[in-house]
Structure 1
Amino acid sequence: MTNFDYDLFVIGGGSGGVRAARVAAGEGAKVALAEEYRYGGTCVIRGCVPKKLMVFASEYRESFADARNYGWDVQDGAFDWHPFRKRMHAELDRLEGIYRNLLKNSGVTSFDARATLKDRNTVELSTGETVTAKTILLAMGGRPVKPDLPNAHLGITSNEIFLLDELPKSILIVGGGYIACEFAGILNGLGVEVTQYYRGAQILRGFDDEARGMVAEQMREKGINLRLGINIHQMSLAADHDPDMTGPVGDDGTTPLSEAGKGGPIYVKSTQGDEAEFDQVMFATGRVPNADNMGLEEIGIEIGRRGEIVVDEYSKTTVDNIYAIGDVTNRVQLTPVAIREGMAFVETVFKDNPTPVDHDLIPSAIFTQPEMGTVGLSEEEARDQEPIDVYCTSFRPMQTAFADRPDRVLMKLVVSQKTRVVLGCHIVAPHAGEMIQLAGIAIKMGATKEQFDQTCAVHPTMSEELVTMKTPMRSA
């Protein structure tokens, strides 16, 4: 029998990789993990956590006006990026320390190094070390990419937005997905003049049409210059408008922060012909898996057309002792999904309990302003599948209506006519993420519309509408 240095070697210190390493070690396996940057991955270091902190910060501007309408003697204040940025990064440092300690306390050996594969059982580290493992788990995550556009190096991505020395006075955000829309709301709330370009007909492609339409409408209501069917045609430093100008790009395709937006305002000409200058341009135009330059294909691991690691329902690659989880597989790019994939991997490999990954009926929240929460099928997906009834209501919520804000919320259930099972739930409202978590439990359990109706309403709340809508708005 071959002796290996470790039973399991995990490449990637994000949420999925760390959870799998810890739980496998708890089952008695000898485990090591390598991370080349910071522990916590995209979510903790350059994603969900700092983004949500920025969401919280951005919501206070409207709160000052609301407070006055509720009788408080409150004056508007100015947002100061510097103390917030310092406190935010201190929190990220604290969380990274927790991740490191969780690994250490679980008995996992950590390597602060880039790891690549030499063969199916051998890992090479950037420190020069070579180690062997019976099983290898790939959990390297993903990264944002910029479009193939001259001078794209002048812009930034979501990686750099948390590192800015100063908040820009104006910004152009390019993209229509959830990252673009979330940061449009955040920066608008922090006092930045925000323009958003999206080449498609409506933002948040793939989500329920009615819900994403309401988000777009309210983004504009809050002052975001959201423009659809438009893209960047040219960009350069405003000082020279040189379309042939080039600049440095890092090995990983990202722009050194010192190069992005540091040369003065950025000149942009759109595909519709208009011209403008912005202090910053942020690209939120897609993400790719971190699967390149790892030696994967050389040892027989199949890579998909979008650069993802191809896996089966048990997260196994085409090399039978090597598995992959999280964004590097480009299945469902959500932190809780990566964690569940890691847990299923441990069940399968270390607990002799083959457990396929369940990607069905995953609740998710988009932290736009207002938030969107969604689980299950959109109206469009459901009506292509079977006859449906749509229960829907939109209204001004009590809290903001009293404060004379025009905000509206949306509550929507998509129901099978045949089985009466609720196929989808879509909420656009403050705290929609909190609501959809609980709605997701009922829908995952296969609840029918009548079971929703049998649940007593909690009054006065926005979410009571989910159990009080008696008549379909329409059928399809």
Structure 2
Amino acid sequence: MSEAPNQTQDQNRDEVPDVLVIGAGPAGTVAALRAADLGARTRLVTSSAFGGMAANDGPVPVRTLAHAARLMRNLRESEAYGIEAGPPLLDYSKLSARVRAVVGEVRAHSSLREQIDAAGVTVHENVGAARFEDPHTVTTANGMRLQADKIILCVGGTARPLDVPGFHLTSTHSAALALTSVPSSMLIIGGGATGLQVASIFHSFGSRVQVFERGARILSGEDADVSAAVAASFRNAGMTVRENFGTPLSFEKTTTGIRMNFSSQTKQESAEASLVVVAAGWIADTVKLNLPAAGLAPDDRGFIEIDEYLQTSTSHIYAAGDVTGRLMLVPQALQEGFVAATNAVLGPSLQLAKRVSLSAGFTDPEYASAGLTEAKAREHHDVLTATVHFDSTMRTIIDGRKSGFCKLVVDRKTANILGCQVVGERAVEIAQAAALAIVARMRVDQLARVPLAFPSYTGNLAYAAASAARQLELQVDWEAGNIDGLSSTGALAQLVRPTPSDSRPAGQRQK
């Protein structure tokens, strides 16, 4: 009697495929956990440490350094509040030790790692690069040979190199994070999220920073107003931000650092710094995988094509995360890992759900965006915008954080929120609250009625919503949100000065 259940379990177990997950970043860890939860015999292999780029040289160490930069900023400004602290002094060796400690603690105590171990996933760390020998067989640099019925590729991405003489003299963001001291000057090639975060952090630490962006504006994937505000803030802080700078021609060593020679329109110029960091794009980390042996042909940036089930052209191989070249953000990677593993074990049946995209940068000032940018929204909607500037709201004035804005992009027909863009203190938290409102399909008048705490940063979202509601001539019942007994019609006017809607696209308005 006691053996029957075990025999049944063994029979069921035999019907579940073996699953091999390559890569232990956000996508890979969720994929391994999901596969194991579905009963698959699951192995998770990673070339380096558990956690992938996100934990080891991406968001976790970057956010730790950004927190230190914010502490230094607050100390510099403390005298305005009667606190005599003196100029802050940075001991970079101690900060580096703190970064390593945080990374180690995240790896050791990650809830996903605990769940993976509890689910019985076999984890192989620091095995070196993985390589396909045939569609079902993978070998690793340290000599392991692994076979599986189903394989999920979550190898992530890596910085894109430049085909320029002297490129070997430059550094990546990873090398910048691993510095033992703060460089006196730094030249950042690339005005995307990674480059700007490095620039902002090391400027706060005392480096003289120059940012060079080949395109028309930094943060080209963000709303035009966000790009303009961040660029203006960087310049006001003393950084050089040069957009449309031209084309790098070469890098060469000098007695004090590295020089970049570049062409600018019809002339040649140069810029020099003690350290040059190239953050000019992201490619898939697939060069060493030997994908042709698995029947896969990546594109020119190494990304792997997948269908709506995250299945590759080789039916038993799935892919998730940065390696697909889609939205290369942690929340999307987590979702993709879950979907890929579900389909690998149960067969292709689950599609990726459409979600509100949210991007963010932990620069100073922060920036964040939820949903559609204004330009994207105007492609398919009749749009109005409502903007609240941080120099006119109480919490930002109290904290001395008056630089920035919160903008809502609203559909005129439905009054639904299509997008939200924020630059300034607590931008990420404000945008995340907006994302919840977008997912809930809240109209602006409904959002304006939410009695948010006062004075708070998230309250600016409600102010922008109330401004949009007034433009649409929607009635807002303020009884639930009265502040200090002020009348409904007068409260908002006394607290903020919202900017009226402008029908012209972002980037074409007078600043």
User: Normalising by the residue count of structure 2, what TM-score does the alignment of the two structures yield?
Assistant: 0.83
The Cα offsets for residues 191-237 of structure 1, whole Å up to 9 and x where unpaired, read as 11111111222110021111211111111111211112214443211
The Cα offsets for residues 374-408 of structure 1, whole Å up to 9 and x where unpaired, read as 11111111112222111112232556645767x42
| Superposition deviation, residue 164 in structure 1 | 1.2
Question: Mind listing any 5+ residue stretches in structure 1 that lack a counterpart?
Answer: 240-263
Moved more, 214-223 or 49-58: 214-223
Higher relative contact order (CA 8 A, sep 6+): 1
2:25 maps to 14
Q: Which amino acid aligns with 2:323?
A: V
1:259 maps to none
1:91 maps to 102
Distance 1:454 1:307, change over 3 A: same
| Counterpart Cα distance in 2 of 1:16 and 1:367 | 22
Distance 1:394 1:7, change over 3 A: same
Q: Percent of counterpart pairs with the same letter? A: 29
2:144 maps to 129
| Superposition deviation, residue 61 in structure 1 | 2.6
* Partner of residue 123 from structure 2, selected from 110, 115, 126: 110
Q: Which amino acid aligns with 2:252?
A: S
| Counterpart Cα distance in 2 of 1:419 and 1:393 | 21
1:176 paired to 2:204 = no
| Superposition deviation, residue 63 in structure 1 | 0.8
Aligned 1:47-196 pairs, distance under 5 A? 47-98=58-109, 102-112=115-125, 113=127, 114-196=129-211
2:296 maps to 301
1:374 paired to 2:369 = yes
Q: Which amino acid aligns with 2:122?
A: T
| Superposition deviation, residue 169 in structure 1 | 0.6
| Superposition deviation, residue 121 in structure 1 | 2.0
Q: How many residues align?
A: 451
1:454 paired to 2:467 = no
| Counterpart Cα distance in 1 of 2:93 and 2:202 | 15
RMSD over aligned CA atoms reads 2.4
| Counterpart Cα distance in 1 of 2:346 and 2:16 | 20
| Counterpart Cα distance in 1 of 2:317 and 2:85 | 59
Aligned 1:207-226 pairs, distance under 5 A? 207-226=222-241
| Counterpart Cα distance in 2 of 1:279 and 1:97 | 35
| Counterpart Cα distance in 2 of 1:460 and 1:399 | 5
Moved more, 17-26 or 102-111: 102-111
Distance 1:37 1:223, change over 3 A: same
| Counterpart Cα distance in 2 of 1:354 and 1:395 | 47
Distance 1:443 1:144, change over 3 A: same
2:252 maps to 236
Distance 1:404 1:458, change over 3 A: closer
| Counterpart Cα distance in 1 of 2:120 and 2:360 | 34
Bigger radius of gyration, 1 or 2?
2
Aligned 1:257-272 pairs, distance under 5 A? 264-272=256-264
The Cα offsets for residues 245-292 of structure 1, whole Å up to 9 and x where unpaired, read as xxxxxxxxxxxxxxxxxxx41123343444443110000101100122
Whether the 8 Å CA contact 2:20–2:42 is kept in 1: the answer is yes
The DSSP-based 3-state class of the residue aligned with 2:149 is: strand
| Superposition deviation, residue 172 in structure 1 | 0.4
Question: Mind listing any 5+ residue stretches in structure 2 that lack a counterpart?
Answer: 1-10, 472-499, 505-511
The DSSP-based 3-state class of the residue aligned with 2:340 is: helix
The DSSP-based 3-state class of the residue aligned with 1:159 is: helix
| Counterpart Cα distance in 2 of 1:404 and 1:422 | 29
Q: Which amino acid aligns with 1:228?
A: E
* Partner of residue 324 from structure 2, selected from 325, 329, 337: 329
| Counterpart Cα distance in 2 of 1:162 and 1:102 | 29
1:434 paired to 2:429 = yes
The DSSP-based 3-state class of the residue aligned with 1:475 is: coil
1:363 paired to 2:358 = yes
Whether the 8 Å CA contact 1:146–1:157 is kept in 2: the answer is no
Distance 1:149 1:4, change over 3 A: farther
2:507 maps to none
Whether the 8 Å CA contact 2:395–2:457 is kept in 1: the answer is no
| Counterpart Cα distance in 1 of 2:101 and 2:376 | 43
| Superposition deviation, residue 299 in structure 1 | 2.8
| Counterpart Cα distance in 1 of 2:361 and 2:271 | 29
| Counterpart Cα distance in 2 of 1:431 and 1:149 | 39
1:311 maps to 306
Whether the 8 Å CA contact 2:16–2:39 is kept in 1: the answer is no
The DSSP-based 3-state class of the residue aligned with 1:59 is: helix
User: Normalising by the residue count of structure 1, what TM-score does the alignment of the two structures yield?
Assistant: 0.89
Whether the 8 Å CA contact 1:4–1:133 is kept in 2: the answer is no
The Cα offsets for residues 137-171 of structure 1, whole Å up to 9 and x where unpaired, read as 11100000221111011110112112112220100
More helix per residue: 2
| Superposition deviation, residue 23 in structure 1 | 2.6
Whether the 8 Å CA contact 1:69–1:403 is kept in 2: the answer is no
The DSSP-based 3-state class of the residue aligned with 1:357 is: coil
Whether the 8 Å CA contact 1:145–1:157 is kept in 2: the answer is no
| Counterpart Cα distance in 2 of 1:403 and 1:395 | 11
